[in-house]
Amino acid sequence: MALYESEHTKFMREWMEKNPQELEEQAQGRALWWDKPAPTAEEARIIAAAKVPNKAYYYDAN
């Protein structure tokens, strides 16, 4: 039984085979936007101090 593969998936698979340098650019973009270092102890303390507790009833306007 053959598994379904969309047109887009086929295109991307072929395009990545033809342009292997894109894997490095993809990794750089991921590092820029998503892969962040863990906060230091000082940063963690500042973040924890800045948190505001939730109200008991979230949808209350007052």
pLDDT tens digits, 4-38:
999 999 999 999 999 999 999 999 999 888 888 89
In a domain, 31, yes or no: yes
* Residue 35 located in a structural domain: yes
- Within-domain flag for 26: yes
For the chain, the domain total comes to: 1
Range of the domain at 33: 9-50
Residue 4 included in any domain: no
Termini Cα distance of the chain: 60
What's the pLDDT score for residue 60? Answer: 79
How far from the centroid of its chain's Cα atoms is residue 29's Cα? 10
b/e code 14-31 from CB counts within 10 Å (16+ = b):
eeeeeeeeeeeeeeeeee
Global pTM reads 0.47
Is position 61 within any domain? no
